[in-house]
Each structure stands twice: as structure tokens, then as C-alpha cells.
Structure 1
Amino acid sequence: MPSIATCRDALELAVRAPSVHNTQPWRWRVQPGLVELFADFGRQVTATDPKARALVVSCGAALHHLEVAFAMLGWQAHIDRMPDPDRPDHLATVRCTPRPPSDLDIRLAAAIHLRQSDRRRYPGRPVPARELRAVSRCASRFGAAARHVPERMLPQLAAPMRRAAARHATDTRYLTELAQWSGCHGGPTGVPARNAPAARSSDELPVRVFAEAELAEYTDEPDSAHWLVVCTPNDNQLSQLGAGQATSAMLLQATYLGLATSLQSEPLGMFDLREQIRTTVLQECAYPHVMIRVGVMPPAAAPLESTPRRPLGEIID
């Protein structure tokens, strides 16, 4: 069995996973050979994520990061999702058996360190279709799918995104919450001001606007990002957890391929706008959980600073 020290090493990588507003809404319990994941509903951003859907998706991303970390350290993770019906906060139990790491295991673990949420415009070359397919295929292992939104359908995705931004612009409760969790300087949680660009009203698909944005755009060219919608056939907590695992797998694959990514979920916290995306973009065949922007940033673009994380001592029982 992996030692507690090995489990802690794996968790150091797992907590690099993205989370809504970088709230890091997870807690972990560690024993020799056993790691348990719990949702920390006390960190729910209720104005942004009223159903805690994005919170569970965030935990799913951390769960997949943990699996990748264990694989790099020579252990195969066996995950029991939602093991206790009486505890909705107990999301997963992870046990391990020895398995030598492959080259891909090592490269995906390296991608955890390299991945960043780059919210700037992507002005680079179009992403080859084979690379988009490689990223999208990662979702199927977790009971999810990734719908690539073709250019002709982008207006159908843009409409609810613009409506969400317009509602939030006058929602005092949302703006107060956003100010608490963004525009941050030096803290271990929240979206750093240095990693958030200003509003881009000219973009067809607007990204979420964070407080005190300080990140300069690389270019004034139109954004050439591709959009992937991560979705599942059901809409329960297990599906949300799987959507998070799928999102992590897609982000790491994209990073491995040298692509830039960022997550978007602003309209998905509003019932009617989420339903609009389900009806128009997904043809009522699945439920959307998160949207991923994928593109290419030129090597000359200024690198982003790492987003901070809470120390393990605060999140391990």
C-alpha cells in the first residue's frame, strides 16, 4: 500500500486542479493505502453556484488529478464514487495497487504543473481537428461527453452567456461574492487579479468578468478559441463528479498537446440559461456542466503566474 507520505505527495498534485473561483472546495482523509474525498459545502459560492453543481464538478477534477498523480508515483487508483448514500459530501474513496508508471502517466502528471487557466484571447493558429478529437475523447471514460460547438452554432452559445453577464452586472449579491473571491493579491484562494483580463465586450462569446482584473491581453485580434461543452446524460451528483473527472482529463490532454485552456460556467448557474444551452446546443440529449475554451497562445505571450493553493494542512483530516 502507498504510505501516508506517498498519499500526501499525490495530494500536492491533486489540489492543483481548477475549481470554481479557485475556492478549492474539498477535504481529504488520508490513511495508509486509502484516501477519501469530501465536498466542503461550506465553501460554496451560493450566488454563482446555487445548486453546488460547480462545487462537485471541481471536486471531480481534483479526484482525477489524484488518479494521475498516483499513476506517476507507481500506483493504480481504484475509485469508489459516492460510497456512502447517507453522506452526500463523501464523494469518493480511493485505494491503490502497485503499477509501474508509463511514459504517458509521467507526461500527464507533468501537465498538472504546466496547466493554467489562460483567460486571454487565443490569437494563434486554429487547433487541428485531430487534437480537438483527442481532447474530447477523454470524457467518455467517465460517463461524460464533450460537444464541440461548431462555428455556425456559436451564436446559440453566445446568447445565454451574454444574458448571464447582463444579469450578473446588476446583481448586488453576486457582485459582492465575486469581489470576495476575485481580484485577489497574495492569498491562497480566489482568482488572482494578475491572472484575470478585463472585460472584452467585442468578443462574440464573453468570458466571465472578475474584479480588479490586471492581466494584459496579448493581442487585440479576435478570439479564435474553440468551445467544448462537457455534458452527461443524467444530472445527479454522480454525473457531476464524473463531469469533473472528464474535465480534468481533457484539460491535461490539451496541456500535453501544447494547447491553452480555460473554463467557463457563468450561465450554467442559472436554471433557465442552462436549460437553453441544453436545448439549443445539446439538442436536449445531455446536461451541460462546464464549458472549456481551447486554443493556441503564441510562445511570445507572457507566461502566467501560478494560481495559489491552500496548504495541505488546511484540507487534510
Structure 2
Amino acid sequence: MAEPVPDRETLWTALALAVHAPSVHNTQPWRWRFGQRSVHLYADPQRWLPATDPAGRDMVMSCGAALHHARIALAALGWAGTVHRLPNPADPDHLAAIELHREEPSREVLALATAIPHRRSDRRRYASWPVPDARYLEYAELAAAEGVVLRAVPDGAERQALVAAVAEADRLQRSDPRTVGELASWSGRGRLAEDGVLAASVAEAAGYGDLTLRTFAGTPDTPPPPDGAGDLLVLGTASDDRTAQLKAGEAASAVMLAATTDGLASCPLTQPLEVGSTRAMVTDVLGGDLVPHMVIRIGWPTLAGHPLPKTPRRPADAVLDTEPA
């Protein structure tokens, strides 16, 4: 008997969930193709931000988050995937192929899939209630399953060094007209937009407590409150190739979806890793033995009853290549 293959409706449903993945400035820099029993992910260089992300790390990590979203969506629909990363050396934009086979979804997979449309990059103030350390141990295990190390940065000298790197990266990028121009062109969007950062989704100030946040178009020019920064987690790997960057994005997706199921707010912070000098500062925070890829801000939401507006997304048919893989 021939092995079953996923029908078109299943693939479309999974893709409609995958496009909810977070991406730098919500650029959604991905393309997809369907094979008979596989799904293929490509980077979309036309949506690369050369000033903000000169090495293309943010673009690849964004695609990694979409890859993990797709894996979870497919698994929830009964199709587990074997992932082949960078399967075609002749095409560096071909980031992954997911080879599908039937498998009943687990409770954990169903919970993560349910969280996909509810996750937001929450740039608002967080509550001061502590997040139990046990949660971060669980998130570290999720990251480790993707081949990535997650470290919670404790208060004290390590946190001071990390927030100093964030503030310095913000200062340097604000002094670069090209980076400022990219930020302005991809933010301050209205509700009918299909990409970019909504004006309604920016932070209430330029930062909270000790943490500086990226100033998107529409961010109010108000003094930062004395608290509300939340906790900071750093994702790192042993290397800095495209595979490591892709896995970092997958780990970020796993952590933020799990945080969503736990009722926590989260937001990816890549700004200190986009500038060489501040990237070195974050490397020092990790002890010099890991390559940092992303900081994740996390905490309890203060406005749990006031959800953020739905982040704009391009429809699935806009990111799907009709040419079969």
C-alpha cells in the first residue's frame, strides 16, 4: 500500500499558521514551496534589511522561527517532519526541506499550535511579579532540543552589561541614516497593512526601567517608567553559520510559543546583535564560549485583558511559489 501524502488543504492550513512567525521589523522574509510529501523554505532576499542586518542573521533567524511554526502546525495536523537544513549547497536561500510522515500529534504540540495565532511581540511594560525559575529551565530544554543554549541573565553585573549593550546598539543605529530610514519605512503601519510594525503595537516609551527599546515610528516621546523591563534570556550556539542562525530562530519560536501557553508576554530583541561592537559585548555576557543570536524579553503582562491588535501578515498565497519543489 502506498504511503499517504498530505492533501493540499492540510499544507495550506499549515502555511497559514507558519506565516504568524515573528520576523525582524515584521518583514516576513520567507518563501515556501510544496512537494508531494515535503515542504520547502526559502529566504526572500528582497525583504532583507541591509543596513539593520548587514550579515543577514536576522533574516535567517526569522525564517527559522517560521520553520518551527510550520513544523508545529504540520505536526498538529498529523504530519511530523524530518527537517533537512540547507539541503541544496548550490542555492544558499534554500534553507530547509521538511520531509513529512504520518504521526499522531502530542498534547504539547497541540498546545503550541493553538498558541501560534495568539502570540504577539509585546513591547509594553511588564509586571514586576517574578517568573518561576522552573519555567526558564523548561524553556532551556526546549531550546536545547533545537541545538541551542538558552541562558537567563541574572540581575547584577551580567544584566548591567547586557542592557548597556542594548543601549549602545540603539545609540549607534540612531546615528546611522540608513538604519533610521529602514526603521521608518517598516514601522508606523496602519491596521490594513500586510507587513511591518503597526503603530498600535509599539512600546509606550523608549524603554522600561534599565532597558532601552528600539524606537519604531509612532513610539511616544515619553520618559521611560522606572520598572517594567521584565527578564532577559539570551540564545546562543557554538558556531555562527547559517545552520546555527536557523536553529536559533527555531529555538526562539519554541520558547515564545511555550511562554504564550504559560500566559507570559515576550518580545525578541535583536538590536544588540546587529552591531559588531555590541555583539562582542553580549558574547562577553555569555562568558565568551557561545555565539549570541537573540535576546528575548519575557515577563507577566500588565494588560492581560487588553490584547494587542493582530499583527499584519501577508496571506499564504503571497508567500507560496507555485513552482513545485
TM-score class, shorter-chain normalisation, is over 0.9
Task: State the partner residue of 2:195.
Answer: 189
Which runs of 5 or more structure 1 residues have no equivalent in the other structure? Answer: none
Task: State the partner residue of 2:210.
Answer: 204
Is 2:43 aligned against 1:39?
yes
Is 2:29 aligned against 1:7?
no
Task: State the partner residue of 2:249.
Answer: 244
Q: What is the alpha-carbon distance in structure 2 between the residues aligned to residue 123 and residue 38 of structure 1?
A: 38
Match of 1:99 among 89, 100, 103: 103
**Greater shift after overlay, 61-70 or 297-306?**
297-306
The alpha-carbon deviation at position 216 of structure 1 amounts to 10
- What one-letter code is carried by the residue in structure 2 that aligns with 1:135? Y
- Going from structure 1 to structure 2, the CA distance change for 1:282 and 1:177 (only over 3 Å counts) comes to same
Residues 106-157 of structure 1 show CA distances to partners (whole Å, capped at 9, x for unaligned) of: 1110110111110111024110111121122211112111111000121100
Is 2:280 aligned against 1:265?
no
Is 2:290 aligned against 1:286?
yes
- What one-letter code is carried by the residue in structure 2 that aligns with 1:21? H
Which runs of 5 or more structure 2 residues have no equivalent in the other structure? Answer: none
TM-score by length of 1: 0.95
Residues 252-272 of structure 1 show CA distances to partners (whole Å, capped at 9, x for unaligned) of: 111111111001011211111
Q: What is the alpha-carbon distance in structure 2 between the residues aligned to residue 124 and residue 299 of structure 1?
A: 13
Q: What is the alpha-carbon distance in structure 2 between the residues aligned to residue 272 and residue 193 of structure 1?
A: 30
The alpha-carbon deviation at position 198 of structure 1 amounts to 4.1
Aligned structure 1 segments of 4 or more residues deviating by more than 6 angstroms: 214-217
**Matched length:** 315
Task: State the partner residue of 2:231.
Answer: 226
TM-score by length of 2: 0.93
Q: % of aligned pairs identical?
A: 41
Q: What is the alpha-carbon distance in structure 2 between the residues aligned to residue 221 and residue 146 of structure 1?
A: 27
- What one-letter code is carried by the residue in structure 2 that aligns with 1:269? E
SS class of match (1:275):
helix
Q: What is the alpha-carbon distance in structure 2 between the residues aligned to residue 201 and residue 14 of structure 1?
A: 30
The alpha-carbon deviation at position 12 of structure 1 amounts to 0.6
- What one-letter code is carried by the residue in structure 2 that aligns with 1:230? L
Task: Indicate if the aligned counterparts of 1:72 and 1:101 stay in contact, CA closer than 8 A.
Answer: yes
Query: 1:65-214 to 2 correspondence within 5 Å?
Result: 65-152=69-156, 153-185=158-190, 186-200=192-206, 203-213=209-219
Is 2:48 aligned against 1:23?
no
SS class of match (2:211):
coil
- What one-letter code is carried by the residue in structure 1 that aligns with 2:49? V
**Greater shift after overlay, 98-107 or 198-207?**
198-207
Task: State the partner residue of 1:63.
Answer: 67
Task: Indicate if the aligned counterparts of 2:30 and 2:42 stay in contact, CA closer than 8 A.
Answer: yes
Q: What is the alpha-carbon distance in structure 1 between the residues aligned to residue 61 and residue 305 of structure 2?
A: 30
The alpha-carbon deviation at position 214 of structure 1 amounts to 6.4
- Going from structure 1 to structure 2, the CA distance change for 1:115 and 1:172 (only over 3 Å counts) comes to same
Q: What is the alpha-carbon distance in structure 2 between the residues aligned to residue 172 and residue 273 of structure 1?
A: 19
SS class of match (2:54):
coil
Residues 185-232 of structure 1 show CA distances to partners (whole Å, capped at 9, x for unaligned) of: 121010000000243356312111101136999x94612511000110
**Greater shift after overlay, 291-300 or 33-42?**
291-300
SS class of match (2:71):
helix
Q: What is the alpha-carbon distance in structure 1 between the residues aligned to residue 23 and residue 207 of structure 2?
A: 25
Q: What is the Cα-based RMSD across aligned positions, in Å?
A: 1.8
The alpha-carbon deviation at position 298 of structure 1 amounts to 3.5
Task: Indicate if the aligned counterparts of 1:195 and 1:305 stay in contact, CA closer than 8 A.
Answer: yes
Q: What is the alpha-carbon distance in structure 2 between the residues aligned to residue 266 and residue 199 of structure 1?
A: 17
- What one-letter code is carried by the residue in structure 1 that aligns with 2:183? L
Q: What is the alpha-carbon distance in structure 1 between the residues aligned to residue 208 and residue 125 of structure 2?
A: 11
- What one-letter code is carried by the residue in structure 1 that aligns with 2:65? A
SS class of match (1:118):
coil
Task: Indicate if the aligned counterparts of 1:67 and 1:76 stay in contact, CA closer than 8 A.
Answer: yes
Residues 53-75 of structure 1 show CA distances to partners (whole Å, capped at 9, x for unaligned) of: 01000000000001100111011
Task: Indicate if the aligned counterparts of 1:4 and 1:31 stay in contact, CA closer than 8 A.
Answer: no
- What one-letter code is carried by the residue in structure 2 that aligns with 1:134? E
Query: 1:296-311 to 2 correspondence within 5 Å?
Result: 296-298=300-302, 301-311=305-315
**Greater shift after overlay, 294-303 or 50-59?**
294-303
